[in-house]
Amino acid sequence: MSIDKLIEDAETIMIHSGEGDTETWKTYAGTRTVRALKAELRRERCGGDRWATVWLSIAPVAHLGHQGDHVIDCLDIEAGEIVDTRSAT
């Protein structure tokens, strides 16, 4: 499945960002395109002072990081690399 289709079909899109050990999660409610998500990540990264990743859920996210949730992590949206975290232990 393409990254565009995953973004379009996701039930929930979360932005995980932070600086150092401080992190935040927020629900993304913007346009569901690669271009729009890249722009959001650029804003979150503040010119390189912070880090940010996109998390796509194909089912409701009850508890992030719990193996039973249907969560797919787009680690590098710029390169189009997608990691399905459901297979991680």
- Output the pLDDT for position 10: 84
Residue 29's DSSP bridge partners are none
Strands of the 22-27 sheet, one edge to the other: 22-27, 12-19, 51-57, 71-76, 81-84
pLDDT of residue 70: 57
Its pTM stands at 0.70
Query: What confidence score (pLDDT) does residue 16 get?
Result: 87
Domain edges within the chain: 3-87
φ, ψ (nearest 5 deg) of residue 36:
-65, -40
Which pairs from 63-69 meet CB under 8 Å and 24+ separation? 64/14, 64/25
Return per-residue pLDDT of the chain as tens, 89 residues. 577 877 888 888 889 899 988 999 999 999 998 889 888 988 988 888 888 888 887 765 555 555 555 566 655 555 555 555 544 44
